[in-house]
């Protein structure tokens, strides 16, 4: 009986020492909302790149839509938020679609390293 007790105590002590510390905390609704907002912004940019007119413009400039989408997926949440802020500040009216398309194309060209208009966008490293 003593041997079994010693083995159990040794095993339990080893388990406690090796398990480390566990820390749990509540997830704030603000952090969940920020995460969902970032995903929404990213999906908006990807939808814009998937539009036929934007894809045609990208191809004419030598950038594939797959490369543009890969770069959008690699952007940080703050970069995506800044880009969407720039797009959302575009003037309203009949030319909104054209302005948004131009802003998106410029952003994608920045991503590809062809231009350097937006200082917060880092070009794709090859």
pLDDT digits (tens, 9 = 90+) for 46-67: 888 888 887 887 788 777 888 8
pLDDT of residue 19: 64
Long-range contacts of 60-65 (CB under 8 A, 24+ apart): 61/105, 61/109, 61/114, 62/114, 63/108, 63/109, 63/112, 63/114
57, 49 Cβ separation under 8 angstroms:
no
Per-residue confidence band for 34, with pLDDT thresholds at 50, 70 and 90: confident
pTM of the entire predicted model: 0.50
């Amino acid at each position: 009986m003593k041997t079994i007790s010693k083995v159990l105590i040794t095993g339990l002590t080893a388990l406690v020492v090796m398990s480390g510390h566990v820390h749990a905390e509540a997830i704030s609704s603000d952090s969940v909302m920020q995460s969902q907002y970032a995903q929404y912004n990213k999906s908006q940019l990807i939808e814009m790149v998937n539009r036929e007119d934007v894809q045609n413009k990208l191809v004419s400039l030598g950038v594939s839509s797959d490369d543009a989408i890969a770069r959008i997926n690699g952007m940080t949440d703050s970069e995506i938020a800044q880009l969407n802020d720039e797009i959302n500040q575009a003037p309203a009216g009949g030319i909104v679609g054209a302005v948004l398309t131009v802003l998106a194309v410029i952003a994608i060209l920045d991503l590809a390293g062809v231009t350097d208009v937006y200082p917060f966008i880092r070009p794709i490293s090859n």
